[in-house]
Amino acid sequence: MKHKGFTLIELLVTMGIIAVLTGMAVFNFNQARMRARDVQRKSDLSQLVKSMELYKNDTGSYPAAAGDFQTDMVNKGYFKTDFVDPRGSTWWTYKYLPGTNNKTYYLMACLENAADSTRATTAQCANFPNNAGSGSECKCGGNDIANYSGVMYIVSNP
């Protein structure tokens, strides 16, 4: 009498293959989500740059306050709501640093993808205090300097 079915070895091999494929899919999905949040951060900074230029055209200089510059910009009608990092309170918010005589400025977001080709150089991020700069990248993100896992992305004008 011949039994039809799979042996235990065949079932274990099949389950192992499924587990490996699932692990790869989850990793790729998390990488895609991380990159999507980085794209959102860059888009937010692009919108902020446009608003800053409108502000400068109207007032002759960029905002002077480095603190809560977004609230000032919202109150003056340059955009409707504060921009918030896609990761929320567990990640760095966008930072603004006015330059000399409010004629230049720096905007910073913290990217999750440390290999991003547009990350800031050490020279660029030297303007931002409390970073963990090392080598050619400046680290940021999270709540503890020892656990920073992101890199700075900085835009400036001019």
Q: Where along the chain do its domains lie?
A: 8-157
Q: Model pTM? A: 0.79
Quick one: pLDDT at residue 94?
A: 87
Quick one: pLDDT at residue 136?
A: 46
Q: CB-based contacts of 145: which residues, under 8 Å, 6+ apart?
A: 130, 132
User: Which pLDDT tens digit goes with each residue over 68-99?
Assistant: 788 888 888 888 888 888 988 778 888 888 88
Mean pLDDT of 1-15: 87
For residue 24, count other CB atoms closer than 10 A to its CB.
10
